[in-house]
A and B are shown apart, each in its own frame.
Chain A
Amino acid sequence: MAIHKGRGFACINYPIGMNLGGDPAQALVHSTPDGKFMVALSAIDLGQGMKSVTRQIASETLGVPVEDVYVDTADSDTGPHDMGSFASRGTHRVGNAVIRASAEARKQMMEAAAEELEVNAADLDTDGKGNIHVKGAPSRSITVADTAMAAQFKQGRTLSGRGIFLIPPSEADAETGEMTPVTCFAHAALVIDLEVDDETGEVTVTQINSAYEVGRALNPRLVEQQLIGGAWMGVSHALYETTEPYYPDRSHGPTDFNTYLMPGPGQIVPHHIAVLERPAEDAPFGGKGPGEMCANPVLPAIANAIYNAVGVRCDRLPITPEKVLRGLQANGGAKPQGLR
């Protein structure tokens, strides 16, 4: 009867966006009378931060403070079509649509400011703090608010933009499977440290060390939320979750949270994360979506660590204590594979 330590590794990549394309996203951006900007979408925030990241993308592209931008979603009467929040497509598709709409609105804003300042729009820049100024001469400036008012009440100019982002739909070949799945991929690698109790079969994950490559962390805290929450879900998936514990037999399926097991706050695993950023060319500011790939490497890394700990190959998920014990029994006991 012993606790055996084990360590396992896994690495993956993840396709960003709906496979084979054909999933458009649209955005509408317009200025209020005094130069605040509203972004109208029909994209869905599931908690991953859709409203927040698109707000930052609009703010950066427009060149105005984020406090002056608000994202409204989702109302089918006012928000233009978006395919939906799935397939890690939100940041990539909706983000790009927001950039396009914001760019168009910015162009008009700069032209309006140029008319007020009597310069060429190409000579102007935004400072991100609510001002538009001549490049190299920050004192020659006008506020975004004044620009918006002049545009709308004096010049007769809109400050609004529309954007659509689409990877056109393609097909997979029937004979070879040739296809363009997506245009960019995120990456991850991680190491799981865990312990296996060879008397109860219980597995306790003790530490995770990981590296995730996400293109660009558009908001580092939002990325962190996904990576921590996703790794938790990966542990849960590997060791606990199932709707059919004896699949393909349907009996004993859980019906509530008492019987559908997930780790709780008493089982928090310290997770040491490194974030890498290799911007994807066609992604908004290079950012790929970390929302789905964050759980995937955890599952095999846990299985590999259990093998390292006690020599049992767990090829069927979830890896319950019963499966570990049956494996130990079949092997005639724990067979640790050596420290790493």
Chain B
Amino acid sequence: MTSVEFRKDIFADERDDTLKEIGKPTIRQDILGHVTGRTRYFDDHLFDGLLHMRAVRSPHHHARIRRIDTDAAGRMPGVRRVVTARDVPVNLNTLLSLINFGRDDEPLCAHDKVRYLGETVAWIIADTERQARDAVAAVRVEYELLPHVLDVEEALKPGAPVVNEVYPNNTFDYHDKYDHQKLRFGDVNAGFARADHIVEAEYQMSPIEQAPIETCGAIAAPEQNGRFVCHTNTQALFFSLGTTAKLLNIASSRLHFIGGTAGGGFGGKVDSIVEPTAVLGAMLTGKPVKFAWDRYEEMQVGAPRGGERWRIKDGVMRDGRIVARQFTGFFDSGAYMRLSPYAIIKGTGHLPGPYSIPNVSSNVYCVVTNRTPATAMRGFGITAVDFSIECHMDRVAEVVGMNPIDLRILNAYRDGDMKAHRRRAKNTALIECCQVAAGKADWAISPDSAAASSLRGGGVGERGEIPETVTDDEGRVGERRAGRTADTAPATRGTGRIAAGQASAAVGAVPVQNPDMEIEVERIGHRIAAAQGAPAAAPRATAPGTATPPRADTPAYAPPPAYAPPPAAPPASAAPPPPGSYQPDQPFSRGVNRPGTSRFLSGTRRR
């Protein structure tokens, strides 16, 4: 049925395929454990006297908590401890604050307000899971219902219920300046004016669940020397450890987190809620405590992929070239920010998709609503906008009467093209993927499409330049809620201009800490663009908040700071050695100089 082929012929001259272990279909290290049932997941650790912790949850989207009555629950059989917000030493949990991005806006346990259906208002720890569930059902909470908002655009309107007082405009504040993240490249409105066609549409993705077969969970227990061990299926061990240390005001050295094996994750095991909760339970009872989502909680309380709404407007020439593309995006973060503000930036950096479009603008909003907070899921920040972009490309193809694959290849980005986030494209391969997929499906494409290459035609003229860019300062924090701005799309009239060519240098990896850590260049298995002769990027006047300049001494295998366009003609200075005659004291050459070739010329490496 399914077939897999490896097209080794494509980009062959950029690879050495004679590595010893890399490229081998070696049997997985962990699969023997899987097939014998011996792989240890977090729950595969036996503790005698294990207690079970379960949460009391809000049945309302938005309400004030008037009173929590746990007396009856506390007296029920098997109940060891009732836990409320007061028991959480530092009741503020936001992952991003661990990396200094955003404000802490979410309690581990609600105390004055609940902001989504399912939010935690208390916990019960009991001898058995059954006893914990029965006691949870016996907790009486008095709520005063508040108006709630569930639609992202409704949440942005003046007068919408404030979901979260930490973000009183119901949006994340980007750069403490705007209620959205902007992308501005060129002048889309000028692009629309000269376009032959305008194509507009809206796309919507509902939230979906990561639904790993193993739910989120942790078992925490007191260990020796005043430490706590926590067995967890988190996707980020030290994020979870750090969050736990922060919430419980405990030195991180007193936490011993063991994990590394998750029964599926897909992004749903990043939020680090179960670990601090389980450790809190172990701290309060002095016993091993298990805290895990059941399947209902995994479905509706555990964070889903957030819903997203995207509007795309394209200006297209009749030959199919897209000359302007504008996005308005709304990310439904749910009641708390969690990782969503980061996803908006990631999505912004992805626009306009893998295409070379000379004018691009977008406004993307991170909106809070009274629903389950969203988190990462496979393709975080990208999946919904790619759905939108690729459906939109087909709409454009229909309008101009073009084969959809030809349209993709015509607009595809290539090596050397300038992207809308002001970095050069390199190592591109979209065109080749389109050609191969079309070939496999027997879907005819034009001769021009079949002849196109990621290695040719990029970076030339307008494609390689940063245009003069129109900017605006619409959508400052608070304006929308005060009724002074209504339109969410990028401004139709700019208020500023940034001169053409303005950009900072790309950021690359930090070089090795000491030279012994560097693998020998001839063992890495792929060609490196010739570092010699590559002109360094001329320093630009950097606007505040732009990227850190790269280190000057990049090692041989780190990318050079700027793309070196291939020479137009072979260098005339050195006479190439006669073909077939190898001069040992000169670099090996077949006597052929192709643009962009490096020191390592042929597909076969001599060792």
Within 8 A of B (CB), among A7-22: 7-15, 19-22
29 contacts between A and B (CB under 8 A): A12-B390, A20-B346, A45-B260, A59-B21, A75-B260, A76-B257, A79-B237, A96-B509, A100-B517, A168-B507, A171-B546, A172-B345, A177-B182, A184-B427, A187-B430, A191-B437, A211-B436, A213-B433, A230-B378, A248-B150, A276-B429, A276-B436, A279-B15, A281-B559, A296-B386, A300-B394, A303-B391, A304-B394, A313-B395
Q: A219 interface residue, CB < 8 Å from B?
A: yes
Within 8 A of A (CB), among B287-328: 295-296, 299-300, 304, 307
Q: A278 interface residue, CB < 8 Å from B?
A: yes
Q: Which residues of the other chain, A, contact B58 by a CB distance below 8 angstroms?
A: none
Q: Which residues of the other chain, A, contact B454 by a CB distance below 8 angstroms?
A: 278
Task: Kindly name the residue among A42, A179, A317 whose own CB sees the greatest number of chain B CB atoms within 10 A.
Answer: A179
Q: How far is the CA of A259 from the CA of B588 in the complex (A)?
A: 64
- CB pair B7 A276 closer than 8 Å: yes
Q: A156 interface residue, CB < 8 Å from B?
A: no
- CB pair A44 B234 closer than 8 Å: yes
In angstroms, how far is the closest chain A Cβ from the Cβ of B350? Answer: 6
Q: How far is the CA of A213 from the CA of B431 in the complex (A)?
A: 11
**Complex interface bits, A58-78 against B, C-beta within 8 A gives 1, otherwise 0:** 011101011000110111110
In angstroms, how far is the closest chain B Cβ from the Cβ of A68? Answer: 11
Within 8 A of B (CB), among A197-252: 209-213, 215-222, 224, 227-228, 230, 233, 237, 241-245, 247-250
Given known A46-B235, A86-B267, A250-B61, contact A274–B346 (CB-CB < 8 A): no
Q: Which residues of the other chain, B, contact A128 by a CB distance below 8 angstroms?
A: 20-21
- CB pair B408 A9 closer than 8 Å: yes
Q: B2 touches which one: A55, A60, A249, A270 (CB < 8 A)?
A: A270
In angstroms, how far is the closest chain B Cβ from the Cβ of A212? Answer: 7
- CB pair A176 B21 closer than 8 Å: no
Report how many residues on chain B are interfacial, defined by Cβ distance under 8 Å: 165
In angstroms, how far is the closest chain B Cβ from the Cβ of A97? Answer: 9
Within 8 A of A (CB), among B474-520: 496, 498, 503-504, 506-510, 512-514, 516-520
- CB pair B300 A253 closer than 8 Å: yes
- CB pair A253 B299 closer than 8 Å: yes
Q: A262 interface residue, CB < 8 Å from B?
A: yes
- CB pair B559 A282 closer than 8 Å: yes
- CB pair B25 A211 closer than 8 Å: no
A-B contact sample (11 more), CB < 8 A, given A75-B260, A268-B1, A281-B528: A11-B408, A46-B269, A100-B517, A108-B516, A170-B547, A172-B421, A187-B433, A224-B4, A241-B209, A268-B2, A299-B387
- CB pair B5 A286 closer than 8 Å: no
Q: Who on chain B is nearest to A186 by CB?
A: B429
Given known A9-B437, A19-B342, contact A220–B23 (CB-CB < 8 A): yes
Given known A9-B404, A281-B558, A300-B391, contact A176–B185 (CB-CB < 8 A): yes
- CB pair A304 B390 closer than 8 Å: yes
In angstroms, how far is the closest chain B Cβ from the Cβ of A316? Answer: 4
In angstroms, how far is the closest chain B Cβ from the Cβ of A303? Answer: 5
Q: Which residues of the other chain, A, contact B387 by a CB distance below 8 angstroms?
A: 296, 299-300, 303, 317
**Complex interface bits, B94-114 against A, C-beta within 8 A gives 1, otherwise 0:** 000001000000000000000
- CB pair B525 A211 closer than 8 Å: no
The segment out of A140-148, A159-167, A326-334 that lies at the interface is A159-167
Q: A83 interface residue, CB < 8 Å from B?
A: yes
Q: A272 interface residue, CB < 8 Å from B?
A: yes
- CB pair B434 A11 closer than 8 Å: yes
Q: How far is the CA of A21 from the CA of B234 in the complex (A)?
A: 21
Q: A254 touches which one: B183, B299, B430, B438 (CB < 8 A)?
A: B299
Given known A104-B517, A277-B15, contact A178–B204 (CB-CB < 8 A): no
Q: A117 interface residue, CB < 8 Å from B?
A: no
Q: Which residues of the other chain, B, contact A241 by a CB distance below 8 angstroms?
A: 208-209, 211
Q: A279 touches which one: B441, B523, B526 (CB < 8 A)?
A: B526
The segment out of B138-146, B160-168, B171-179 that lies at the interface is B171-179
- CB pair A340 B7 closer than 8 Å: no
In angstroms, how far is the closest chain A Cβ from the Cβ of B16? Answer: 9
Which of under 10, 10 to 19, 20 to 34, or 35 or more describes the interface residues of A? 35 or more
- CB pair A244 B207 closer than 8 Å: yes
Given known A76-B255, A177-B183, A295-B378, contact A19–B371 (CB-CB < 8 A): no
The segment out of B26-34, B71-79, B81-89, B190-198 that lies at the interface is B26-34
Closest 6 CB pairs of A and B: A84-B236, A74-B260, A181-B349, A300-B390, A177-B183, A279-B526
In angstroms, how far is the closest chain B Cβ from the Cβ of A51? Answer: 5
- CB pair B557 A249 closer than 8 Å: no
Q: B259 touches which one: A52, A74, A165 (CB < 8 A)?
A: A74
- CB pair B183 A176 closer than 8 Å: yes
- CB pair B241 A76 closer than 8 Å: yes
Given known A13-B354, A262-B211, A316-B204, contact A176–B434 (CB-CB < 8 A): no
Q: How far is the CA of A331 from the CA of B388 in the complex (A)?
A: 22
Q: A310 interface residue, CB < 8 Å from B?
A: no
Q: How far is the CA of A295 from the CA of B383 in the complex (A)?
A: 8
Given known A51-B29, A176-B469, A216-B22, contact A257–B440 (CB-CB < 8 A): no
Q: B264 interface residue, CB < 8 Å from A?
A: yes
Q: Who on chain B is nearest to A42 by CB?
A: B237
Given known A47-B264, A84-B237, A103-B516, contact A11–B437 (CB-CB < 8 A): yes
- CB pair A171 B262 closer than 8 Å: no
Q: Who on chain B is nearest to A221 by CB?
A: B25
Q: Which residues of the other chain, A, contact B438 by a CB distance below 8 angstroms?
A: 9, 189, 191
Q: A152 interface residue, CB < 8 Å from B?
A: no
In angstroms, how far is the closest chain B Cβ from the Cβ of A228? Answer: 6
Q: B382 interface residue, CB < 8 Å from A?
A: yes
- CB pair A55 B29 closer than 8 Å: yes
Given known A179-B345, A250-B117, contact A219–B99 (CB-CB < 8 A): no
Q: How far is the CA of A182 from the CA of B504 in the complex (A)?
A: 15
In angstroms, how far is the closest chain A Cβ from the Cβ of B330? Answer: 11
Given known A11-B390, A81-B238, A103-B516, contact A181–B378 (CB-CB < 8 A): no
Within 8 A of B (CB), among A248-300: 248-250, 253-257, 260, 262, 268, 270-282, 285-287, 291-293, 295-297, 299-300
In angstroms, how far is the closest chain A Cβ from the Cβ of B3? Answer: 5
Q: Which residues of the other chain, B, contact A149 by a CB distance below 8 angstroms?
A: none
Q: A172 touches which one: B261, B348, B379, B433 (CB < 8 A)?
A: B348
Q: A134 interface residue, CB < 8 Å from B?
A: no
Q: How far is the CA of A99 from the CA of B469 in the complex (A)?
A: 42
Q: Who on chain A is nearest to B183 by CB?
A: A177
- CB pair B509 A167 closer than 8 Å: yes
Given known A19-B345, A66-B21, contact A71–B514 (CB-CB < 8 A): no
- CB pair B345 A173 closer than 8 Å: no
- CB pair A256 B185 closer than 8 Å: no
- CB pair B440 A191 closer than 8 Å: yes
- CB pair B430 A13 closer than 8 Å: yes
In angstroms, how far is the closest chain B Cβ from the Cβ of A255? Answer: 5
- CB pair B175 A56 closer than 8 Å: no
- CB pair A179 B349 closer than 8 Å: yes
Within 8 A of A (CB), among B545-583: 545-548, 557-559
Q: B299 touches which one: A13, A217, A255, A313 (CB < 8 A)?
A: A255
Q: A35 interface residue, CB < 8 Å from B?
A: no
Q: B525 touches which one: A168, A268, A285 (CB < 8 A)?
A: A285
Q: Who on chain B is nearest to A65 by CB?
A: B21
Q: B127 interface residue, CB < 8 Å from A?
A: no
- CB pair B296 A256 closer than 8 Å: yes
- CB pair A71 B29 closer than 8 Å: yes
Q: A107 interface residue, CB < 8 Å from B?
A: yes
Q: How far is the CA of A70 from the CA of B372 in the complex (A)?
A: 40
Q: B357 interface residue, CB < 8 Å from A?
A: no
Within 8 A of B (CB), among A78-122: 79, 81-87, 96, 99-104, 107-108
- CB pair A176 B518 closer than 8 Å: no
Q: Which residues of the other chain, A, contact B503 by a CB distance below 8 angstroms?
A: 178
Q: Which residues of the other chain, B, contact A255 by a CB distance below 8 angstroms?
A: 295-296, 299-300
Q: Which residues of the other chain, B, contact A213 by a CB distance below 8 angstroms?
A: 429, 432-433
Q: Which residues of the other chain, A, contact B545 by a CB distance below 8 angstroms?
A: 171-174
